[in-house]
Structures are given as C-alpha cells and as structure tokens.
Amino acid sequence: MIVVMKSDATPDQVEKAMRRIESLGLKPHPIHGVERTVIGAVGDERGKSAFESLIEIEGVENVIPILKPFKLASRELKAEPSEFNVGPVRIGGKGFALIAGPCSVESEEQILDVARQVKARGANMLRGGAFKPRTSPYSFQGLEDEGLRLLAKAREETGLPIVTEVLSSEDVARVAEFTDVLQVGARNMQNYSLLKKLGKTDRAVLLKRGMMCTIKETLMAAEYILTSGNPRVMLCERGIRTFEDSTRNTLDLAAVALMKDWSHLPVIVDPTHGTGVRQLIPRMCKAAIAAGADGLMVEVHTHPEEALSDGFQALLPDQFLELSTDIKPYLAIEGKQT
C-alpha cells in the first residue's frame, strides 16, 4: 500500500498516518520527496479491508496498492532511482562505481600492489575477498581476519572504499568493522538470516544474484535487507547458469535493464564471473553500461598466473586501464561519471 500525503500535509499529519498504519499491523516507510511525502505501508495485507480507511486520515490524498511483491524495492513506491554515497563515491543517478581488485586477498604485498595500480588506472573502489565461498573445501578459503586487516590497510593507503564478501550472519559485525560495502555472494543470495542481519548494519550492501535465481527472487532478497532497515542496497548481475558451457556463466544483461525498470535500486554488473572469459570482459562492460548499469565490478591481478583463485579470468592492470579508458564515451552517452 502506498499512502500518498497531500503536498500541504503537515509533519503532524504524516506522523498520525504512520501511527495509523502501524496500528493496522503494517510497517510504515516514509519517503520525503521535494513535493510531498509518500509512505510505503508494507506487511501482510490479507483480509484487511480496514486499509481502505487510511484515506480518511487528515492530510492523506490517496491510497494505492503496490502490485509488485517486492514493495520497498519497486519503482511503484519510489519512482526516482536511488542514489547514495559509499565514502566519496556516488552510486546511482549520475554516479558510477568502478570496482576493481583481485578475487582474493592473498598477501599484504599483493593487495597493496593491486590497490595502487587499479587506483592509478581509474578504479574508484577496491574489491577483494577475505572470506571465500569456494566450491571445494580443499581450495583456498581466504585469509579471513588477516585479509580484512590488509584491506583496511589498502584503504588507508589509497583512499579507495572497500567491497568484501561476508559469508555468514555471525561474521557481519566483524566484517563490517573493516569494509565499506558488504558483498553477498551468489551462493548466499537466499540466506535469509544473513540478509536480515545486513538490514541492521549501516554499511552498504552489494547483493549478487544467485546463479539459479530469477529476477523476482533477486528483488525479493533485496526486499529482506530493505525491510530490515538498510536502504543502501546495490543489486549485482554476475551471470546465471544455463546450458551454455563456452562461458563460465551467462551474463544476463536483459536482467539489468529489467531490474532498472522494476526497481529504483542501483545495479552493478560483474562481467568477470558473468563470462569467466578474459577477452570478453571489455565488450561486456560496454554492453552493461548501455543496458543501464550503475557500476562495474572486475577482477584485476598483477600476476594472474600465481593467483590463489580465479586467476584465469583476471585482467592485468594495463588491460584494466584500457577498459577504464574505453568505457568513457559509453558513460558519457548515459550521462554518468566515475
């Protein structure tokens, strides 16, 4: 339900409407626009004809149902795209996140070296996994706490905000202490206790689409974070599993365009995991921008042949420089800048 307040409604009337919404067992989420305030009233609406009485409250202009199952994430509730800052980086709107770094943090020398090089070549955020969700328990699992400490050191040195993955709800506080953006990996997109916990942090969240999840399921996962109180959510298309086996995943750029139509949340594209094929990454980046992406996340390594994970798909720093230069005209067409 969207409760649209009159443009001259007083703060007191907005407050009364919020209390009435609460008394009906719904959670009010006010959005204060320039013109007027609208209140998203979300919760279980079954058999509550009482909702229609909301129109009787003083200062309320209209009460409209939200048809999409993802209420807070939908454009029905909030027509304008969401924008927020992660450190100095603007995400959404005209802002563009260019996130680069290794798959995993491997050593102090490695992460500092990559951080300096991607910064000098146009990245505005640094990625790197300290906790790695590996298919095999025998593969490198990440440096864990030491990795977090090294990421914080790289931020201190370069000023780049950090994006790193959190694997479980018990680790949220521990990872949040060291990072600017908490990444939810594809394998964890439907880990609802983790999502609820992320809704309670003050860190932005990068929610990766599950490799076998639909667009609607992805938006419902975002809804868990939003309804738990954290509005700073970015969606991330990282490819889905299909019958195609010439690429690691099938990068679903139609999903990017559709998520932008259905939702006000910023959408980031990860063409590295999306293709797993190094030579395709630059072209997929350009296509992602044309599809409406608000940012890109790419893996970069100074010595991919020695990488402890995903070396085969990492760009070299100079390939990243070429990419960050080549996408400029595409960003200009879309009215975006890093």
Tell me: does residue 185 bind ligand PEP (CB under 6 A). yes
Tell me: does residue 273 bind ligand PEP (CB under 6 A). yes
Cα 100–103–105 angle (5° rounding)?
100
Tell me: does residue 168 bind ligand PEP (CB under 6 A). no
Tell me: does residue 212 bind ligand PEP (CB under 6 A). no
Residues 291-310 interacting with Mn ion (rule: CB under 5 A): 310
Task: Check residue 5 and report its DSSP letter.
Answer: E
Q: Are strands 181-184 and 27-32 parallel, antiparallel or unpaired?
A: unpaired
Site string for Mn ion, 309-328 (x = CB under 5 A): -x------------------
Separation in Å, CA 224 to CA 72, 190, 196, 197, 218: 9, 10, 6, 9, 10
Task: Check residue 240 and report its DSSP letter.
Answer: B
Out of 2, 100, 103, 154, the residue judged to bind ligand PEP by CB under 6 A: 103
Pick the closer one to ligand PEP by CB: 103 or 181. Answer: 103
> CA–CA separation, 317 vs 323, rounded Å?
10
Tell me: does residue 271 bind ligand PEP (CB under 6 A). no
The number of CA neighbours under 13 Å toward the Cβ of 323 is 32
Per DSSP, helices labelled H in the chain are: 11-23, 108-120, 145-158, 172-176, 192-198, 215-227, 253-262, 271-275, 281-290, 317-326, 328-334
Out of 3, 99, 103, 281, the residue judged to bind Mn ion by CB under 5 A: 103
State both tokens at 172: 């949220």
Binding region for ligand PEP (CB under 6 A) out of 25-33, 180-188, 257-265, 311-319:
180-188
Q: What is the number of the residue whose Cβ is closest to Mn ion?
A: 103
Tell me: does residue 281 bind ligand PEP (CB under 6 A). no
Provide the greatest CA pair distance for the chain. 67
Pick the closer one to Mn ion by CB: 18 or 111. Answer: 111
State both tokens at 52: 């229609």
Tell me: does residue 118 bind ligand PEP (CB under 6 A). no
- Residue whose pair of structure tokens reads 């067409």 in the numeric block: 333
Binding region for Mn ion (CB under 5 A) out of 81-89, 96-104, 155-163, 236-244:
96-104
Separation in Å, CA 77 to CA 4, 74, 181, 286: 10, 6, 25, 30
Q: Provide the 10 A C-beta neighbour count for residue 141.
A: 18
Tell me: does residue 301 bind ligand PEP (CB under 6 A). no
Out of 101, 129, 199, 271, the residue judged to bind ligand PEP by CB under 6 A: 129
Binding region for ligand PEP (CB under 6 A) out of 67-75, 90-98, 181-189, 311-319:
181-189
Binding region for ligand PEP (CB under 6 A) out of 58-66, 185-193, 219-227, 328-336:
185-193
Instruction: Using CB under 5 A, list all residues that contact Mn ion.
Output: 103, 310
Instruction: Using CB under 6 A, list all residues that contact ligand PEP.
Output: 103, 129, 133, 185-187, 208, 238, 273
